[in-house]
Amino acid sequence: MRKIVVGVVALIILLITPANAHQPVVLTSTDTSASKGPLLVDGTVSFAVRASLTKPNQTLAFRAGFKKGDKVEIQYLIVNKKPESALKKSDMPVVTIISPTGKRSVMEINERTNFFEPYSKTNFLYLARYLAPAEKGTYSVVITAKVPASITIAIGSKEIPGKVTR
Q: Helix/strand/coil (H, E, C) string of 118-132?
A: CCCCEEEEEEEEEEE
Question: Which helix or strand (DSSP H or E) is residue 111 part of?
Answer: none
Check residue 127 and give left, alpha or beta (phi > 0: left; psi -120 to 50: alpha): alpha
Cα 116 from Cα 66, distance rounded (Å): 28
pLDDT in tens, the chain (166 residues): 443 333 333 333 333 333 445 899 999 999 999 999 999 999 999 999 999 999 999 999 999 999 999 999 999 999 999 999 999 999 999 999 999 999 999 999 999 999 998 888 999 999 999 999 999 999 999 999 999 999 999 999 999 999 999 9
Cα 104 from Cα 99, distance rounded (Å): 7
pLDDT at 16: 35
Prediction pTM value: 0.86
What are the structural domains, with CATH classification, of the chain? 17-161 (2.60.120.380)
CA 158 to chain centroid: 12
